[in-house]
Copies of this chain bind each other. A is one copy, B any other.
């Protein structure tokens, strides 16, 4: 139990935090601030050094309203009423009775009429990707993903009193369970063996017999937070006297050194083969006669020579690592995976989204600023875009036009004129400072303005002053 005060812990409200965050210049710093609030009174530096990827932890606050405004059953109901929530796509109806986990999704739209009927009959409800329906959840996740450098996701779980909705299992993500209403009895178990610590894949459902004794057994109440790393088996059930609503925020799916090496190794081998003839030399004439499983017991001295040679080549491979390019592959994935940002009012006012071109009395009124040499600009957010070389060309990939639904849109990018690359890199590296259009490292002013206009039109650029001139 990481933090357990006897008296209620009263922190700032989500609303005030989000408002304050909007005033922080650097979007990366905003993420730090929001995460800090999420785990108050625990400090992030302690969390990341002692807990993260290591062990489960509970933060108890005796303050049911701590996470107020993040999500509620009222909001859940409103979402069902006003959105085309589909069973099996956006909502799962589940139960876990007598060791039996079941899914009850009918086909078609999940209207409150039938959803609440399931709930009254003891079924749990899991709303998948609430960020697609709730702007607040979307905003919170889109901020946090900048901290993680990895997509942040969420699910919402509503469980009737006295029931359990899911069998014991472990997941492939770091999980932050944020209790919003009621309370829930949780049991968390040690990974069963070394192989299941920080696993790549989620587990199947376990029977109670398979999981041993919990290392953590607690009742999480509204306002509390429970964290556990991937691989820790867990199960939660409602006490007879209260329903439970929690949101699980997750991240770090397939974000391991191994997943980077998956990207890196084929590229490294290709370079090694191209650059070092030793990798292109022919295999020995007779190696099928002493290598291979059917020869693995043979005492042929050529076996050891062959093995040594391969091991030497693998070690040599580390000299041919296009590591920055492999990281860029991960970065490109991240730009596609992640949520688009939720713009603050100020960001809207200083970007194309507030550019006050409008229709008035049958005419286009263009009230927006003109870009000039002294106009001050910066990128909308720190990680909003990144340059990648693609064969001969250079392209700018960006997350701004992503959908709130995972991968509903193709990766978004456009080709960049090679003379403009330095200017875009300059903008990326200058963030969060504003720079003048004049300062772009590019020959002519007309070119500088053209770059600024292009990025502005795509929504990737904000100006220091709002885009309105009387």
**Which residues from chain A sit less than 8 Å from chain B, CB to CB?**
28, 48, 52-53, 73-74, 76-77, 81, 84, 107-109, 111-114, 116-117, 119-120, 147-150, 174, 181-182, 194-195, 197-200, 242-243, 252, 255-262, 264-266, 268-269, 272-275, 277-283, 285-289, 291-296, 306-307, 309-311, 313-315, 317-318, 321, 323-325, 327-328, 330-331, 334, 352-353, 355, 357-359, 362, 364, 366, 368, 383, 386-389, 401, 412, 414, 425, 428-429, 456-459
Contacts and interface: CB of A to CB of B under 8 A. Distances in A.
Contacts of A327: 287-288, 291-292
A286 B116 contact: no
Contact of A334 (B120, B288, B389): B288
13 contacts: A117-B357, A149-B287, A174-B282, A195-B275, A243-B362, A255-B283, A260-B310, A261-B314, A268-B314, A283-B330, A311-B318, A311-B321, A314-B318
Total copies of this chain within the assembly:
4
Nearest to A73: B359
A321 B313 contact: no
A280 B318 contact: no
A388 B387 CA distance: 46
A425 B321 contact: no
Given A261-B314, A280-B198, A294 B401 contact: no
Contacts of A150: 283
Query: A52, A260, A288 — which one has the most chain B CB atoms within 10 A of its CB?
Result: A288
Contacts of A296: 324
Contacts of A109: 401, 459
A463 B289 CA distance: 23
B269 A256 contact: no
Residue of A199, A258, A262, A311 ringed by the most chain B CB atoms within 10 A: A258
